[in-house]
Amino acid sequence: MFPTKLITTPVIWELGQKFKVITNVRQASVNDEIGLVSLSLDGEREEIKRAVAWLEELGVKVEPVEIQTIEG
Amino acid sequence: MDKPSPYFSNLKCRECGKLYPKEAIHVCDFDFGPLEAAYDYEAIGKVLTRQLIESRAHTMWRYRELLPIDGEPTVGTQVGFTPLVKADRLAKALGVRELYVKNDTVNYPTLSFKDRVVSVALSRARELGFKTVACASTGNLANSVAANAASAGLKSYVLIPADLEQGKVLGSLVYGTNVIGIHGAYDQVNRLCSEIAGKYGWGFVNVNLRPYYAEGSKSMGFEICEQLGWHIPRHTVIPMASGSLLTKIHKAYGEFTKLGLVDAAPFSVYGAQATGCGPIAQAMKRGTDIVKPVPKPETIVKSLAIGTPADGYYAIHAMRDTGGFAEDVTDEEVIEGIKLLAECEGIFAETAGGVTTACTRKLIETGKLPRDESIVICITGHGLKTQEAIVGKCGAPRVIKPSLREFEEQVYNPDAAAATA
């Protein structure tokens, strides 16, 4: 999930440049408030972990596709 | 190994419709859409009649052809068929003509609607050969998995946030489950659960068993229709955490209509949330289907405090398509809701029940719910589970000496009572 301030930043391109991961967008919806992207990341486990940490530092909320595994 | 059910045919992606085998999988390979159980309605239509259903035991399994297992249920065989209470006193208090409470506070065995979903998930888990089941939960789901796994002889693990209240932890520990507290934010716990499910081949009821688990909620909708004399209520108000229950009651009404078990009739579904964590209700009010996550839920209604609701998008469409709406209420209104339901109907609901009752009142007052048509409100868990929420909010007992004079002076004055009679 991208906050508004990142809308003009090419986050996924940068991700592919900075880390040895293969990115593949499977689904996306963007409006003027928020962008939701289902992104598959292929690569070494540690490299993916670093990539996710970088995204989070940037202010992107990252969840596994199995969102909401905690229930009431 | 059970023979494959002739009725439950596949798992199917809710986005692209791609069909999958009936395994422990839950997302589409192509678009990451959620998988859902699909049925052969033509085959079901040939066998499932009102008479057949009525001839069966009073449990949720009387609708077994519409639930995603292959053989007979083996876990939670006593779950469901909770009372649908005609709530005349609450109707009067809210100023409406016809109101019913679907009372899952007395669902067996752990006093919440979660027993419905867990009995399906664990029955299916056994069919798929799982020996260990698990869940990540803040309360009701954990209790239900622990209890139902214990009675089924399955090994279970319950993952909880490390700072969860003792009372809720006890409700799982007593069943001999492995309770694991995890330090860290919810997102990190989520990721860990996915990794465990993938690596150790455990049946996580709300991860890889989710398509089966979620379908259990439909039984609440089926029961409502049957208990109303095979009619769909005109309006149904449903609490929303992930939004799954709302979408499944919507699906249940649709399936009964498709099968001719009820007459086709218009119906509307409404969602209820707490203002301190109401991402679906707020999206609905903004007129969008993009649900903005709530990073830090702040409400006493822990059982609905899901900041990133998995079925939010689908819940919004179900409400929109049926002409329903969503509402949210403050913690103060939640407590008033709990008290109103208890004082009018003798039903002690947990905080989520307070949300549903208070949202119903708000929807009526704002004209979103008409006063002269049938309304069902879904009450999903017992108040004994969240007693801390109302401690000090319901007054205190008056204490007197064991003397009749003191009783008459301080509690009941017969002359004054006669004067006001």
Instruction: Give the count of Cβ contacts less than 8 A between chain A and B.
Output: 92
Tell me the domain boundaries of chain A.
Answer: 4-58
The CA–CA distances, whole Å, from A70 to B137, B277, B295, B309 equal 5, 15, 14, 10
Q: Is B17 helix (H, G, I), strand (E, B) or coil?
A: coil
What confidence score (pLDDT) does residue B267 get?
98
Predicted confidence (pLDDT) at residue A69 exceeds the cutoff of 60: no
CA–CA distance, B4 with B300 (Å, rounded to integer): 44
Check residue B356 and give its pLDDT.
98
- pLDDT value at position A37? 87
Q: Tell whether A32 is within 8 A of chain B (Cβ).
A: no
pLDDT value at residue B417: 77
Reference B207, options B321, B130, B105; nearest CA is B130
The structural architecture, per CATH, of the domain B8-77+114-213 is: 3-Layer(aba) Sandwich (3.40)
* Nearest by CB: A70 against B32, B189, B197: B189
Which residue in this structure is represented by tokens 């099968």? B259
Here the tokens at position B346 are 């003798």
Topology classification of domain B84-109+217-389 = Rossmann fold (3.40.50)
Answer whether B190 sits within 8 Å of A69, measured CB to CB. yes
Closest to B307 (Cα-Cα) out of A40, A19, A33, A1: A1
Q: What is the pLDDT of residues B165-192, one digit of tens each?
A: 776 788 899 999 999 988 876 666 767 8
Average pLDDT estimate for B258-279:
98
Q: In this complex, which of A26, A31, A67 lies closest to B190 when CB atoms are compared?
A: A67
Tokens 């947990």 sit at which residue? B350
3-state class of B166 per DSSP?
Answer: helix
- B136: confidence class by pLDDT, cuts 50, 70, 90: confident
Q: According to the model, what pLDDT value does residue B117 have?
A: 97
For B107-121, the pLDDT digits (tens) are 999 999 999 999 999
Contact B292 A72 (CB under 8 A): no
CA distances from A45 to A21, A49, B72 (A): 10, 6, 41
* CB-CB contact of B378 with B347 (8 Å): no
pLDDT band at A1 (very low <50, low <70, confident <90, very high): low
pLDDT digits over A14-45, tens only? 999 999 999 998 888 877 777 888 888 899 98
Domain boundaries, chain B: 8-77+114-213, 84-109+217-389
| Torsion of Cα atoms, B233 then B234 then B238 then B244, to 10° | 80
Residue B136 to residue A40, Cβ atoms within 8 A: no
Closest CA to A61 of A33, A37, A25: A37
Cα–Cα distances (Å) from A27 to A40, B29, B53, B203, in that order, read 10, 12, 41, 27
- Dihedral in degrees, nearest 10, Cα atoms B291, B296, B297, B302: 120
Q: Does A45 reach chain B within 8 Å, measured CB to CB?
A: no
Residues in chain B with CB shorter than 8 Å from the CB of A72 are 114, 137-141, 241, 302-306, 352
Distance CA B302, CA B414 (A): 45
Quick check: B265 pLDDT over 80? yes
Contact B269, B324 (CB under 8 A): yes
Q: What percent of chain B has pLDDT over 70?
A: 98
Rounded CA separation B139/B370 (Å) = 34
Distance CA B138, CA A72 (A): 5
Chain A residue whose CA is closest to B239: A72
Q: Does A46 touch chain B (CB under 8 A)?
A: no
Could B193 and A31 be called an inter-chain contact, meaning their C-beta atoms sit closer than 8 Å?
no
Q: Do B206 and A69 touch (CB under 8 A)?
A: yes
ipTM of this complex prediction, to 2 decimal places: 0.70
User: What is the structure's pLDDT at B296?
Assistant: 84
